[in-house]
Amino acid sequence: MIEFAVHGRTALLTINRPEARNAVDREVAEGLESAIDRLEADDELWSGVLTGAGSSFSAGADLKLFASGDDKYMFTERGNFAGIVTRERTKPLIAAVDGPALAGGCEIALACDLIVASPAARFGLPEVKRSLVAAAGGLARLPRVLPPQVAARLMLTGDSMDGEQAHALGMVAELCPTGRAVEAALALADRINANAPLAVRATLRILRARADQTFDETFAEGRRAMRELSATEDYREGPRAFVEKRPPRWQGR
């Protein structure tokens, strides 16, 4: 259910269940967690892109499992819902959204570090329409990427918004033409991969922790990261490449 392809330094992860609008079942959840394990373990891969096959990113939880009482199979021990929403990761992961990302599908996109979307994308947390709540991170993450009143309106009404609106409000990092979300996300990943991978991962770690920290705590984390990087080969390679007027040759160590 999860396809794994390599594009240079980037892993492309595709939820391949289009007949069910890429809804999450046991195979999707376990497959996505395994795909992230593979990305994290491969030193030659520095970033990932996550997308959905067909016309949807993901419809979220498979409601047939809810109805049958088998909803526990949509969760994994480390990643929780879909094997991703609480999964600890070190490498940047970009959601490429070219269709609906609703309910748990929106929460999967929010669990990624960046979102690239087209005008055909739709984001929303319609759980209240089914007497559910967005318990897979949506309640916590959506108000952090949208103005509070907008996030509250979406969560309380179950309304959705398109990719253009999400981009204008800051939820989407880059807006691309319809049908080109994966292409645009891979291009963004290439721009990230052009940088020193250990510095990118340190920056990502601090960005994730920032929401729960004071300014002084985040400042101290930045200084600590600099001390750690100063012991690496890439730390010396960056200035050397600048002085020698050549592209840096990052080693990831």
Q: Concatenated DSSP letters for the chain? A: -EEEEEETTEEEEEE--GGGTT-B-HHHHHHHHHHHHHHHH-TT--EEEEEESTT-SB--B-HHHHHHT-GGGGEETTTEETTTTT---SS-EEEEESSEEETHHHHHHHHSSEEEE-TT-EEE-GGGGGT---TTTHHHHHHHHS-HHHHHHHHHH--EEEHHHHHHTTS-SEE--TT-HHHHHHHHHHHHHTS-HHHHHHHHHHHHHHTTS-HHHHHHHHHHHHHHHTTSHHHHHHHHHHHTTS-------
CA–CA distance from 31 to each of 16, 57, 115, 163, 194 (Å)?
Answer: 10, 16, 21, 27, 28
Query: Distance between CA 125 and CA 157 in Å, rounded?
Result: 9
Q: Which candidate in 30, 127, 217, 228 is catalytic?
A: 127
Q: Is 233 a catalytic residue?
A: no
For tokens 């947390």, name the residue.
125
Torsion over CA: 172, 190, 39, 180 (sign): positive
Q: Which of 40, 107, 164, 183 is catalytic?
A: 107
Catalytic site residue 77? no
Which of the residues are catalytic? 107, 127
